[in-house]
Amino acid sequence: MSRGDTIDAITLEVLRHAFTAVAEEMNANLIRSAYSPNIKERRDCSSALFDAEGQMIAQAESIPVHLGAMPFSVAAAVEAVESFSPGDVVVLNDPYAGGAHLPDITFVAPVFAEGRLIALVANRAHHADVGGKEPGSLAGDTVEIYQEGLRIPPIRLWRRGVVDRDLLELVLLNVRTSGERWGDLRAQYAACRTGIDRLSEVIDRFGLETVSEGMGAILDYAERRMRAEIARIPDGTATFDDVLDDDGVTDEPISIRVSVTVDGDRITFDFAGTAPQVRGPVNAVLAVTTSATYYAVRAMTDPEIPPNAGCYRPIAIDAPLGSVVNPEPPAPVVGGNLETSQRVVDVVLGALGRLVPERAIAACQGSMNNLAIGGTDPRIDRPYSIYETIAGGFGARPTRDGVDGIHSHMTNTLNTPIEALEIAYPLRVERYELRKGTGGAGRTRGGLGVRRDIRSLGPDARVSLLTERRRQRPYGIAGGESGSPGENVLIRDDEEIMLPAKGSLSLAYGEIISVRTPGGGGYGPPDERDPEAIDADRREERV
Amino acid sequence: MPERSTYTRSDVINAIGIDIGGTFIDVVLAGPDGSRLVKFPSTPEAPHRGVLDGLVQLIDRGEIDPAYVTGIAHGSTVATNALLEGTWARTGLITTRGFRDVLEIGRQDRPSLYDLSVDRPEEIVPRDLRFELTERVDAEGNVIARLDPAEVTALIPRLRAAGIEAIAVVFLFSYLNPDHERAVGCELSEALDLPVTLSSDVLPEFREYERTSTTVVCAALRPVIGRYLGALEEGASQLGLPETWRIMQSSGTVTDGPRAEAEPVRILLSGPAAGVQGARAIGELAGHRNLITMDMGGTSCDVSLIRGGALLRTTAGEVGGHPVAQQMIGIHTIGAGGGSIAWIDTGGALRVGPRSAGALPGPACYGRGGDRPTVTDAHVVLGHLLPDLPLGGLPRLDVDAAEAAIRSLAEPLGLSIDEAAEGILEIADAAMERAIRVISIERGYDPREYALLAFGGAGPLHAVSIARRLSIPHVVVPATAGVLSALGLLVSDVGCDVSRSLVRRLSSIEPKEAHGIVTELRAEGAEILRAQGIEESTIRFEVSADLRYVGQSHELNVPIAELEEETLSFDRAVEAFHAEHETRFGHAEPSGELELVTLRVRVVGPPALAETPLFEETGPIETRTVEAWFAGVRRVETRVVSRGSLGVGAAIEGPAIVVGSDSTLLVPPGISGHSDRIGTIHLEVRG
């Protein structure tokens, strides 16, 4: 008998609201009290509630890449700490011990009631810098994780509510903007307090027994809903292959392969056949591969199922150890989170689409188009650095074109307004527009990529690019054509110089970095396209 | 009840408030001796017609005498509906070369993380109606590429051929230097007989996407609102009524018709803003300046927060997915209303909403063929709504149909009908509790310091239960629960909001320069109010600034009265900023450098009515008792009380059902309170 048998249909729904509120209020408080724009504006953070055994009960996330990764953090924290005391807070970022990539720092704190551990709360936020070889800790050409920044194993940064000053100073000494970091770390600590207080209120209201049983019931409930969804997918096995352009260090394409098997109400993803881990920073730790897989399953089934451990019980993931989707240390990983995660989604959706063609989607742009620019601002003679991701084409759907110029899959962070960017940095945006003709043709058309041209108005800016789909196109399906690949271009005296997908370069005064993002793949034979849609595309200069 | 009075003669009515809802037009007739409410059916297919028909009837019945009416204030959903239904004017957009897609790309995010079928809202300006001109202004306001007059001239025949009805012009950094926008505006206005809307007029603030969207919405609604208000003005004039009406704006102040026509983007939240203003007025009379308002109707529930008598406003609003960066009352809406349908999902949980039975077929108890169980049906089954005192103009509620609908849920869940009905209410309450938590706790406001003011047809049924969940100590239910919007129209200030972005380090700005800008903004706002006939001596100014720490991208608005006085210092504003940052975000950095993002001036004049009008509550006298179900105590004998029979200071003891003309208040056992001199009911909520 499961724990949840005594929870009725009404209490279940009321507790679902209550547990969701705990996670969402924790996250709202984190966003509200964070210092840096990356958390506060771009909302690159998430918060979750776990039971005492580390099963995730409820999660609030604003970007999918955190989706399946938090349970790894909690498991690592529980393993590292033999016995929690009230007021303890475990902090970690090591991708090989519960993290995803170093800039994501996760907090885990216990919740006690009636003298015993009854739950854990956790939150994760992307910090603007955690040390390493380049400002922003997102270098595209590292070969070891040691170059990527400070690694924090699961440590108790707070013991019984008191911060460990020694550890804190060690952490802050190893990052570039320590004041801002401490502000954001405090916000994460405050969010843990919020989570603990809110869950304690829920326990006061409903009673410890009901809450404990309710947690079990919520897991069983989500599991039932996910099983019902999986059962609607025909049994069978489908395999899908795709590649990453390169690892930023060597020039070889990197194969990602998944085989999905649906058996009744269970589903298994096997990444056997995926390339071994690589030298450059596109290795995705298992937490990232898991997040990307969960994202794809949620998107293909019912996204309204509460994102908790029960929802994921029917999903098994096998990723060979030592592969690019489950690397061993000290492989560098920063781009695994940013770029490889997108390709994992592409293969998982590709394989699932073969089992349920009516819900299939062509490939989206498949990159976050990470662009970092840094240098000295001649107006104030101070260093500056800016990090952006750039939208591209969405994949075509069976009855709808792909959306033009929009973020897809594992990210959803905002752009920087042009007027804000030009005020804050010695840069000028020369163009920000859709790329005509880049969407894959089809019965429904892939979304258009975007062109963003930025001119440097300072001396010798450094540009870092961590991008994908510059050679391999986003695939079309069911007879649809692939989307156009992206291009990174340096414009010097009106001459266009092609740049690699990943790497760094200097930008002299007046030179332009032009990032042109990929279009989405098309769906269905192009000759079946509705003539009216063709007319509209021509009239609106989209093809 | 000596304080209350009712007018008897039409010649004392001099102010009329008209609010259009989905089903009814609520009209408040007010004068120095009293007020009353009249309802007419609304005519959604031609909204102006129902209003004018209603006015004709009022005149014919001798309820108003046009000669004595000095002001009409109006709240309208016409602008909102046009935006939601896509019935805007065919609009062209002119942008800086290289940036016509800013409107489409937006902030590059998608509205739903996991929905692969996601699409953007329908574009107001399709790509082939977005035109580019060579020109560029830099981040300091310097022209770095000159506008070419020949290009503008060449554009005119293309615009003419495009068959558009309105034009929006948005150039980068035009809030710093509007010359190019103005030059294009002049040229096009002369050449084409079309309304031209400039972003530097509508929203001289930074962030190009939000400014573009706001300007485009404004331009596309001008022909629509122009036709609508034109019809009202003409009709009113024929009836001998004032032809210039006051229109409620999203900010909670009213403006006159011509300005609403010129900038309809400011009236998108007209109706809800009026409701919150009405709630604020009633709350103040009830002695509560900290209020959480809850307006629960048939399909949705709007919640809002008033702190220290001030409405919380935002400039980060959107309507129908289109950002509208205008001062708006902060309202959070969820899909929970009387018509919300209860159902069992695939995981076996009982769910309520977001689908609604709407007005047709409506809840099962309406007897119009609805068979899905709704929140209203749950109330009927539990005895909270009396079948012979029905809603929505129905002769009688069908209890059997409500029971049958609830039974369809109760049986598979193994519950009694009463238990299932209680469960539906509990779940609806849980959703509304979440909505209130979002606007209070998540923003740093503690609901225990507030009173819950409940209105709308279903609000008072849920008020006590929701207050208990959030430990809100007071519940306030106005006598005029159903007409707060119409009332709010008459008690809101006339006003306008003017602003200008600077986005510069505070240390680089001389207070004298800021004072100069504030002086210009004050003059601009005062002129707008004078043009509406507001007397100079009654005009007030509220000066504020959006400030932030350098390096951050979110601003806080703090008042800076000192800039009106030409005090040569920002000290008090800076102090206020740090304090507000501490309150809202839990920390501050007193040594941090600040950036002045936007200067704002709200210019206000007196409302149509100096005092909140009082209403006579009518309704049958009730003496019976019923068996009603309350959570925890099940069925108990419950007194039915009619609001009209409650005297000043009358005590109310739960369990009781207080029936009024437009809503029913549920007072559970153990809850008590009283009625005050204007008929507002106060309940104290413990535990």
Same domain, B663 and B572: no
Task: Please tell me the distance from the alpha carbon of residue A512 to that of residue A497, in angstroms, as a whole number.
Answer: 10
Domain enclosing residue A206, as ranges: 3-224
Across the A:B interface, residue pairs with CB atoms under 8 Å apart total 198
Domain annotation covers residue B408:
no
CA-CA-CA-CA torsion for A305, A307, A308, A314, nearest 10 degrees?
60
Domain enclosing residue B668, as ranges: 625-684
Q: Which of B140-144, B473-477, B479-483, B629-633 has the lowest mean pLDDT?
A: B479-483
Domain annotation covers residue B413:
no
Identify which of B413, B419, B431 has the shortest CB distance to residue A17: B431
> What is the structure's pLDDT at B8?
47
Strand partners, B475: B452, B683
Q: How far is CA B194 from CA B234, B256, B341, in A?
A: 21, 22, 46
With helix as H, strand as E and coil as C, how does B329-346 read? ECEEEECCCCCEEEEECC
Same domain, B181 and B235: no
> What is the structure's pLDDT at B620?
63
The answer to whether A436 contacts chain B (CB < 8 Å) is no
Number of other CB atoms surrounding residue A532 within 10 Å: 8
- In this prediction, residues B293-306 reach a mean pLDDT of 91
Domain annotation covers residue A250:
no
Nearest CA-CA distance, residue B302 and chain A, Å: 18
Task: Please tell me the distance from the alpha carbon of residue A352 to that of residue A358, in angstroms, as a whole number.
Answer: 11
Task: Please tell me the distance from the alpha carbon of residue A4 to that of residue A377, in angstroms, as a whole number.
Answer: 60
Domain annotation covers residue A483:
yes
> What is the structure's pLDDT at B616?
63
Task: Please say if the pLDDT value at position B197 is more than 90.
Answer: yes
CA-CA-CA-CA torsion for B660, B635, B423, B380, nearest 10 degrees?
-40
The answer to whether B207 contacts chain A (CB < 8 Å) is yes
Instruction: Supply the pTM of this predicted model.
Output: 0.93
Nearest CA-CA distance, residue B544 and chain A, Å: 21
> What is the structure's pLDDT at B382?
97
Nearest CA-CA distance, residue A307 and chain B, Å: 12
Same domain, B637 and B661: yes
Task: Please say if the pLDDT value at position B162 is more than 50.
Answer: yes
The answer to whether A18 contacts chain B (CB < 8 Å) is yes
Asked if A29's CB is within 8 angstroms of B347's CB, the reply is no
Task: Please say if the pLDDT value at position B47 is more than 80.
Answer: yes
Asked if B114's CB is within 8 angstroms of A299's CB, the reply is yes
Q: For residues B516 and B493, is the Cβ–Cβ distance under 8 A?
A: no
- Tokens describing residue B239: 């009836």
Identify which of A8, A391, A540 has the shortest CB distance to residue B108: A391
Domain annotation covers residue A464:
yes
The answer to whether A298 contacts chain B (CB < 8 Å) is yes
Q: Which of left, alpha, beta for B201 (phi over 0: left; psi -120 to 50: alpha)? A: alpha
Looking at residue A131, which CATH number applies to its domain? 3.30.450
Task: Please tell me the distance from the alpha carbon of residue B211 to that of residue B326, in angstroms, as a whole number.
Answer: 10
Q: What angle do CA A286, A289, A290 make, to 5 degrees?
A: 85
Domain annotation covers residue B56:
yes
Domain annotation covers residue A323:
no
Domain annotation covers residue A273:
no
Task: Please tell me the distance from the alpha carbon of residue B365 to that of residue B373, in angstroms, as a whole number.
Answer: 9
Domain annotation covers residue B658:
yes
Burial class (CB in 10 A: 0-12, 13-18, 19+), B443: middle
Number of other CB atoms surrounding residue A400 within 10 Å: 16
Q: Is B546 helix (H, G, I), strand (E, B) or coil?
A: strand
DSSP 8-state assignment for residue A144: S
Q: By C-alpha distance, which of A469, A523, A452, A439 is closest to A342?
A: A469
- In this prediction, residues B397-424 reach a mean pLDDT of 96
Instruction: Work out how many domains chain A is built from and give that number.
Output: 2
Same domain, B601 and B534: yes
Domain annotation covers residue A327:
no
Q: Which band of pLDDT confidence, cut at 50, 70 and 90, is reported for residue B482?
A: low
> What is the structure's pLDDT at B476?
96
Domain annotation covers residue B306:
no
Domain annotation covers residue B581:
yes
Asked if A40's CB is within 8 angstroms of B348's CB, the reply is no
Window 480-499 of B: residues touching A by CB (8 A cutoff) are none
Q: For residues A85 and A97, is the Cβ–Cβ distance under 8 A?
A: no
- In this prediction, residues B450-469 reach a mean pLDDT of 95
Task: Please say if the pLDDT value at position B293 is more than 70.
Answer: yes
Asked if A400's CB is within 8 angstroms of B503's CB, the reply is no
Instruction: Work out how many domains chain B is built from and give that number.
Output: 4
Domain annotation covers residue A337:
no
Q: By C-alpha distance, which of A339, A457, A445, A462 is closest to A390?
A: A339
Task: Please tell me the distance from the alpha carbon of residue A275 to that of residue A272, in angstroms, as a whole number.
Answer: 9
Domain annotation covers residue B97:
yes
ipTM of the complex: 0.94
> What is the structure's pLDDT at B615?
67
Q: Which band of pLDDT confidence, cut at 50, 70 and 90, is reported for residue B1?
A: very low
Point out the domain boundary residue: A224, A245, A261.
A224
> What is the structure's pLDDT at B551?
77
- The residues, ordered by sequence, that sit 6+ positions from B207 with a Cβ below 8 Å of its Cβ are A417, A419, A420, B325
Same domain, B169 and B39: no
The answer to whether B127 contacts chain A (CB < 8 Å) is yes
Window 340-369 of B: residues touching A by CB (8 A cutoff) are 344-352
Same domain, B196 and B128: yes
**Residue with the larger pLDDT of the pair A62 and B228:** B228
Window 534-563 of B: residues touching A by CB (8 A cutoff) are 551-554
Domain annotation covers residue B380:
no
Q: Which of A39-53, B325-339, B402-416, B608-622 has the lowest mean pLDDT?
A: B608-622
Nearest CA-CA distance, residue A418 and chain B, Å: 7
The answer to whether B316 contacts chain A (CB < 8 Å) is no
> What is the structure's pLDDT at B454?
95
Same domain, B33 and B156: no
> What is the structure's pLDDT at A1?
28
Same domain, B239 and B257: yes
Same domain, B236 and B189: no
Q: By C-alpha distance, which of B212, B250, B227, B224 is closest to B123?
A: B212
Counting Cα atoms < 13 Å in the Cβ hemisphere of A133 gives 15
Same domain, B160 and B245: no
Q: Which of A33-42, A377-386, B349-358, B632-641 has the lowest mean pLDDT?
A: A33-42
The answer to whether A279 contacts chain B (CB < 8 Å) is no
- How much is the CA Rg of chain B, to the nearest whole Å? 26
Along the 543 residues of chain A, how does pLDDT read in single tens digits? 233 347 899 999 999 999 999 999 999 999 888 888 788 777 889 999 999 999 999 999 778 888 788 999 999 999 999 899 999 999 999 999 999 999 999 999 999 999 999 999 999 999 988 998 887 888 888 999 999 999 999 999 999 999 999 999 999 999 988 888 998 999 999 999 999 999 999 999 999 999 999 999 999 999 999 999 999 999 999 999 999 999 999 999 999 999 999 999 999 999 999 999 999 999 999 999 999 999 999 999 999 999 999 999 999 999 999 999 999 999 999 999 999 999 999 999 999 999 999 999 999 999 999 998 988 899 988 888 888 999 999 999 999 999 999 999 999 989 999 999 999 899 999 999 999 999 999 999 999 999 999 999 999 898 989 999 999 999 999 999 999 999 999 999 999 999 999 988 999 999 999 999 999 999 999 999 999 999 999 999 999
Same domain, B68 and B151: no
Q: Which band of pLDDT confidence, cut at 50, 70 and 90, is reported for residue B678?
A: confident
Which residues of chain B neighbour A414 with C-beta distances below 8 Å?
107-109
The answer to whether A414 contacts chain B (CB < 8 Å) is yes
Which residues of chain A neighbour B423 with C-beta distances below 8 Å?
8-10
Asked if B441's CB is within 8 angstroms of A12's CB, the reply is no
> What is the structure's pLDDT at B2?
31
Asked if A406's CB is within 8 angstroms of B108's CB, the reply is yes
The answer to whether A408 contacts chain B (CB < 8 Å) is yes
Looking at residue B549, which CATH number applies to its domain? 3.30.1490
Looking at residue B195, which CATH number applies to its domain? 3.40.50
- In this prediction, residues B277-295 reach a mean pLDDT of 94
Same domain, B157 and B234: no
> What is the structure's pLDDT at B391?
65
Q: What is the largest CA-CA distance in chain B?
A: 83
The letter for the amino acid at A491 is: I
Domain annotation covers residue A275:
no
Q: Which of A61-75, A94-108, B91-105, B608-622 has the lowest mean pLDDT?
A: B608-622
Nearest CA-CA distance, residue B171 and chain A, Å: 11
The answer to whether B503 contacts chain A (CB < 8 Å) is yes
Q: What is the largest CA-CA distance in chain A?
A: 74
- In this prediction, residues B34-45 reach a mean pLDDT of 83
Task: Please say if the pLDDT value at position B433 is more than 60.
Answer: yes
Identify which of A180, A415, A419 has the shortest CB distance to residue B206: A419
Q: How many residues does chain B have?
A: 687
Q: What are phi and psi of A50, to 5 degrees?
A: -125, 155
Which residues of chain B neighbour A406 with C-beta distances below 8 Å?
105, 108-110, 120
